[in-house]
Amino acid sequence: MYSYGFGVQYSPGNTFLTPILIALIATDYGLGTGIFLGSIFALSVAIFIWTFPETKGIELEILEKSP
């Protein structure tokens, strides 16, 4: 899976789960801790996308054949 595809597929789940987790965590640990968790999700997607090479303008068949 390419980084853009992962970001597009992961984002809806992230936006669905983050408010729920913030509400659950905020009841026990405070709102700041819950918001920190949401920022960790966003940062994890950013790091994941930056670790993969750019595929703009590259034929995907050639990219899939390379190791």
Task: Give the model confidence (pLDDT) of 5-55 as tens digits.
Answer: 666 777 777 778 778 888 888 889 888 887 887 788 778 878 877 887 766
| Nearest-angstrom CA–CA distance, 35 and 57 | 37
Per-residue tokens: 37:
């968790």
Tell me which amino acid residue 2 is. Y
Please give the model's pTM, rounded to 2 decimal places.
Answer: 0.50
